[in-house]
A = this chain, B = another copy of it.
Amino acid sequence: MKKIIVDVEGCDFPEKMVGGCIDAAKAHPDYTIVVVGGKDTVAKAAVGLNNIETVETTDVVTNYDAPARVIRQKPDSSLVKAFTILNEDDDAVGVVSAGSTGAVLTCATLMIGRITKALHRPVVTSLMPTKIDGKLVCIADAGSTMDALPEYMAQYAIMGSVYMRAAFGIESPRVALLSVGTEEKKGDERTKAAHALLKDLPINFVGNVEARDALSGEYDVIVCDGFSGNVLVKSVEGTAKFVMTKLKEAIKSSASAKLGYLFMKKAFNSVREAMDYHRYDGGAFLGVKKLVLKSHGSSNELSVRVSVDRIVSLYENKVIDGIRDGIASTVESREETANEE
């Protein structure tokens, strides 16, 4: 049986993570969920399911640990242990961790390794909700690599495209490039160079997108450098929270609004739910040989459940092979072009 590893430590709610593991094990009887964490925490996973395994660890990676050193300094941490299993066990297909982003990326890169030498850089993606209910947009890069070269961004486009197809069955994902205007010549030098590369890729490239239209639902993948991708993802998060807080304050300040709120509670909650990142948690780290999903530091049961669901989809739709082939094809086409010249 194939295994999906869940590192339940290094986050705000390890017990909720365990709860999510149990839900995921029930939902996927054909997979074993390997719960990695402290003795007391993983003990809670013993609910009599055949397809749950537990691995006890004695150490935890925190945000204060230097990512580059955790592999050597914290071999008994849940995070390093989870990646050790992922690396060594042929049946292990992927890992979910809500731990330190930097440490997850370091372990993925150093312990699992790049999918192919032709890949410049793996990429951290982030999913965001859109105006169209149930439709998500993938931001690549959401913040993993600073000072990206246009060549990196071209490969993010390929990986993002393969990912959205494998994860959500989108036949021909619409890929856009984040810029300051929709015209091809708009943007900084990096973006203009990336635009030229994206145009020639075997993907459904639909041109530039401005940040204000990122959530329009018209795009499946938005390609950007890690700095501006991080600005995009975090400002969406911050602004959504800001507006909801402002509304809450306004409601509290008036008796009639409080009364109105009782009638509207459901409508409010539906919006809060649509914006709830737990529903689409698990930022995929694409470009390494196995599946790695980094979920939010305050992950809950739902986060783990949707992350495991996604790993199953990605595995069954052979996303790793797809990315390897996609990257290889761009390298071949580059070589062909070079030979022709």
> What residues make up the interface of A, taking CB atoms closer than 8 Å to B?
131, 143, 146-147, 178-180, 187-189, 191, 210-215, 225-228, 230-247, 250-251, 253-254, 256-257, 259-268, 270-271, 274-275
Q: Contacts A146-B189, A189-B146, A243-B244: A250 and B267 contacting too (C-beta < 8 A)?
A: yes
Across the A-B interface, the 4 shortest Cβ-Cβ residue pairs:
A260-B263, A212-B238, A260-B264, A250-B267
Inter-subunit contact A247/B271 (CB<8 Å): yes
Specify which chain B residues have a CB less than 8 angstroms from the CB of A259 in the assembled complex. 260, 263
Inter-subunit contact B146/A180 (CB<8 Å): yes
Specify which chain B residues have a CB less than 8 angstroms from the CB of A246 in the assembled complex. 131, 271, 274-275
Q: Contacts A146-B180, A234-B211: A266 and B254 contacting too (C-beta < 8 A)?
A: yes
Q: Which of B191, B234, B261, B267 contacts A247 (CB 8 A)?
A: B267
Inter-subunit contact B264/A257 (CB<8 Å): yes
Q: How far is the CA of A43 from the CA of B211 in the complex (A)?
A: 39
Nearest Cβ on chain B to A38's Cβ, whole angstroms: 28
Max chain B Cβ within 10 angstroms of own Cβ: one of A131, A240, A246, A265? A246
Give the residue name and chain of the B residue nearest to A147 (CB).
B188
Specify which chain B residues have a CB less than 8 angstroms from the CB of A180 in the assembled complex. 143, 146, 226-227, 230-231
11 contacts between A and B (CB under 8 A): A131-B246, A179-B227, A211-B230, A211-B235, A212-B235, A227-B228, A239-B239, A250-B267, A251-B267, A257-B263, A260-B267
Q: Which of B211, B234, B266, B275 contacts A212 (CB 8 A)?
A: B234
Specify which chain B residues have a CB less than 8 angstroms from the CB of A188 in the assembled complex. 146-147, 225-227
Q: A143-B180, A188-B227, A256-B263 are in contact. List 14 more A-B contacts (CB 8 A).
A: A131-B245, A131-B246, A147-B189, A180-B231, A211-B235, A214-B235, A231-B232, A235-B236, A243-B244, A246-B271, A246-B275, A251-B264, A259-B263, A260-B263
Specify which chain B residues have a CB less than 8 angstroms from the CB of A146 in the assembled complex. 180, 187-189
Give the residue name and chain of the B residue nearest to A242 (CB).
B215
Q: Which of B189, B257, B265 contacts A266 (CB 8 A)?
A: B257
Specify which chain B residues have a CB less than 8 angstroms from the CB of A211 in the assembled complex. 230-235, 238
Q: How far is the CA of A242 from the CA of B212 in the complex (A)?
A: 9
Specify which chain B residues have a CB less than 8 angstroms from the CB of A191 in the assembled complex. 227
Q: How far is the CA of A246 from the CA of B243 in the complex (A)?
A: 12
Q: Contacts A189-B147, A230-B180, A242-B131: A264 and B267 contacting too (C-beta < 8 A)?
A: no
Q: Contacts A213-B238, A238-B215, A240-B243: A231 and B178 contacting too (C-beta < 8 A)?
A: yes
Specify which chain B residues have a CB less than 8 angstroms from the CB of A244 in the assembled complex. 243
Q: How far is the CA of A177 from the CA of B244 in the complex (A)?
A: 26
Inter-subunit contact B239/A236 (CB<8 Å): yes
Give the residue name and chain of the B residue nearest to A102 (CB).
B181
Give the residue name and chain of the B residue nearest to A189 (CB).
B147
Nearest Cβ on chain B to A147's Cβ, whole angstroms: 5
Nearest Cβ on chain B to A86's Cβ, whole angstroms: 27
Q: How far is the CA of A240 from the CA of B236 in the complex (A)?
A: 9
Give the residue name and chain of the B residue nearest to A269 (CB).
B250
Specify which chain B residues have a CB less than 8 angstroms from the CB of A270 in the assembled complex. 250
